[in-house]
Amino acid sequence: MKLKKLVPALALTAAALTAVAAPALAGRTTTPSSYKVVAWNDLGMHCACPTFAGFLLLPPFNTVRAQVLGYGSNDPVIIDSTNAGTYGVSVSYAMADNTEATLQADPYFQQWITYAPKLFPGFAPVSGGKVQGLAGNGISGNMTYDSTLKDWTAVGIPAYPLVDANSSKNVMTDPLGGANRNPYPMTNVYVKNASGTILAQTSTVTPVAFGGCCSCHLSLAAANGYPATASGSFAYLGKMHGMNSSKIDFNYLDPTGDGTSGPIRCSWCHWDPAMGETAAPGLANVWPNYVIMAGAGFTKADIKVSQYSFSDVLHRFHSQSTKVLTQYDANVATNCYDCHPGNNVNCYRGSHKAKTALWCVDCHGNLNQRTAAGQLAQPWKASTLPSCTAASAGANPAFACHATNIVGGTVYPTNPSLFGKFINGRGHKGSIKCQTCHGSAHAEAPSTMTLDNTQLSNLQGSTSYSFPAGKDKTYALGVCVFCHPTKTSTWGVPPHL
């Protein structure tokens, strides 16, 4: 009985191996016989605000990255901008759930369309009837090759949480009391030839959610005599800001000189690398004719570029404010979901979460530790981010990080530059991005969320692939034959260097 089952299986495997191995055995071809593409979101989660009338924390801005492999020879060809031209292929993306119609009809996104030109002078959120993100990318288009980071990218696409027709996807609670939304829209990535024929395609989650800010700030506004609304919250925040050493109550700032206050962008004064900035531009450089409205307790001399990054002032204030600690959360230094998307979104959802009681602070440090270590003065820098082998400076992790140079029992030469930071790190002969195989940061494979695992399940879903006990197709890309036609179809841990 067993033999009867085994024979067809062996025959199938042999046929499959022959089929996939043939091109390689024939020698390295000039043009790949086929292509494979793996895509991911750069951070595993982006925040975007539900309102934009008062001030901007974070805009719709999501980045999808992909690596494309030309398949056929034993060593696949990594497709970059040069050989893509040679082979006549292009890489493109199309958001699957966010559409022109739904985005432009969404009342929250409409606020973005209304106020974005004031927040980013010169930027048109809708051009030629089509929505575009801050970097000029719309809901579909070509990806460009990033020769520094060695991947194809679509920077700043306007992904936004949506009220999905499939209500089971609407897991995110709207802190403003609106309908629940889907914070995990998908984006398709294609490799096409010159005539537009799809040669390879995949889908990745493009996560974007509202944060938890409104959950506390609406009641904070009410407690201080302001309406428990987004605008009331902005108004009270402005007043609070005016009570700090800057004296600037931003309710009295009229950037455009049109006689109305706001909206303002925090990163005009507070340097914010999350916005792609290396320095704060300063209000006067963005809106030279800005006006300070009557009744303000400050003058133009007080409008300065802050020495503190936006990340610094935001995190430090919340962890040190006695009002926050005594009236809202005594444990705010470790309760990251107070502000980051935990409103049933649970942005930290990767394999780390599944395996242990490891929490954000084990890798990043709690807010007190981050402040003490000066992390927040240089946010988003490689020097302050955790890696696979070490937590951020100042963190006091309860769990051991991954060994520096031992993978699957094999000892490799120590070379931190090769096994360095995860998000833009590369390994496997220095050519494959960590996230190509492991998935997005915060959603590392296998993720606790099924949708994150869809791509790897498809890529490693061939029935000819086999997995050792305890592993399956949702694990990090590890079936050698997926990329190398003559190698094993059994999942394993590939060389990381």
Partner 1 sequence: MFMKSRMFQVIATVVLIASLAAPALAKEKAKGKANGGEFDFKKTSQFIREMEGRPDFPVATVIANDYVYTLLAMGEKIDAGRQNAIIVNVKLGQQKNGGFTPDKTNKNASILYTDIALETLSLLDAGNAIDRTKVKSFAASLKNADGGFGFSQQAKKSSLATTYYAVHVLKAVNGIDAVEKAKTVEYVKAFAKKDGGFGPEKGTGVANARSTYMAAYVLNALGALDEATAKKAVQFLEKTPYLDKKSKERPDLDEQLYAIRALREVGAGNRVDKTIALNFMKRLYIKVNGGFGPLEGYGSTPDSTTTALRILSEIGKAKGAVPLVAKR
Local structure of 263: helix, strand or coil: coil
Distance in Å, CB of 25 to partner 1, minimum = 50
Select from 176, 263, 264 the least CA-distant residue to 218: 176
Please check whether residue 123 is in contact with residue 116, taking contact to mean a CB–CB distance below 8 angstroms.
Answer: yes
Judged by CB, which is closer to partner 1: 34, or 368? 368
Query: In the set 28, 124, 299, 399, which binds partner 1 (CB under 8 A)?
Result: 399
Contact call for residue 368 and partner 1 (CB under 8 A): yes
Contact call for residue 475 and partner 1 (CB under 8 A): no
Contact call for residue 333 and partner 1 (CB under 8 A): yes
Contact call for residue 251 and partner 1 (CB under 8 A): no
Count of residues that interact with partner 1, criterion CB under 8 A: 35
Select from 402, 330, 419, 328 the least CA-distant residue to 366: 330
Judged by CB, which is closer to partner 1: 273, or 397? 397
Select from 143, 324, 293, 306 the least CA-distant residue to 220: 324
Peptide bond into 446 cis (omega under 30): yes
Please check whether residue 111 is in contact with residue 55, taking contact to mean a CB–CB distance below 8 angstroms.
Answer: no
Contacts of 335 (CB under 8 A, 6+ apart): 329
Contacts of 30 (CB under 8 A, 6+ apart): none
Exposed, middle or buried by CB within 10 Å (0-12, 13-18, 19+), for 460? buried
- For partner 1, the binding residues in 199-228 under the rule CB under 8 A are 212, 215, 219, 222-225
Contact call for residue 392 and partner 1 (CB under 8 A): no
Contact call for residue 237 and partner 1 (CB under 8 A): no
Contact call for residue 393 and partner 1 (CB under 8 A): no
Judged by CB, which is closer to partner 1: 436, or 447? 447
Q: What does 137-189 look like in DSSP terms, one character per residue?
A: -BSEEE-EEETTTTEEEEEEE----B--SSGGG--B--TTS---BBS--EEEE
Please check whether residue 483 is in contact with residue 476, taking contact to mean a CB–CB distance below 8 angstroms.
Answer: no
Give the chain's largest Cα–Cα span. Answer: 90
Contact call for residue 403 and partner 1 (CB under 8 A): no
Supply the Cα-derived Rg of the chain in whole angstroms: 25
Contact call for residue 231 and partner 1 (CB under 8 A): no
Contacts of 348 (CB under 8 A, 6+ apart): 336, 359, 360, 442
Query: In the set 137, 206, 346, 351, which binds partner 1 (CB under 8 A)?
Result: 346
Judged by CB, which is closer to partner 1: 146, or 174? 174
- For partner 1, the binding residues in 133-192 under the rule CB under 8 A are 173, 177, 180
Distance in Å, CB of 470 to partner 1, minimum = 19
**Stretch of 12-20, 32-40, 299-307, 362-370 lying at the interface with partner 1 (CB under 8 A):** 362-370
**Stretch of 132-140, 142-150, 330-338, 431-439 lying at the interface with partner 1 (CB under 8 A):** 330-338
Please check whether residue 69 is in contact with residue 483, taking contact to mean a CB–CB distance below 8 angstroms.
Answer: yes
Taking the alpha carbons at both ends of the chain, their separation in whole angstroms is: 44
Judged by CB, which is closer to partner 1: 7, or 330? 330
**Stretch of 48-56, 105-113, 321-329, 459-467 lying at the interface with partner 1 (CB under 8 A):** 321-329
Contact call for residue 383 and partner 1 (CB under 8 A): no
Query: In the set 6, 165, 398, 406, which binds partner 1 (CB under 8 A)?
Result: 398
Distance in Å, CB of 184 to partner 1, minimum = 15
Which spans of this chain sit near partner 1 (rule: CB under 8 A)?
A: 173, 177, 180, 212, 215, 219, 222-225, 320, 322-323, 325-327, 329-331, 333-335, 337, 342-344, 346, 356-357, 366, 368-369, 396, 398-399
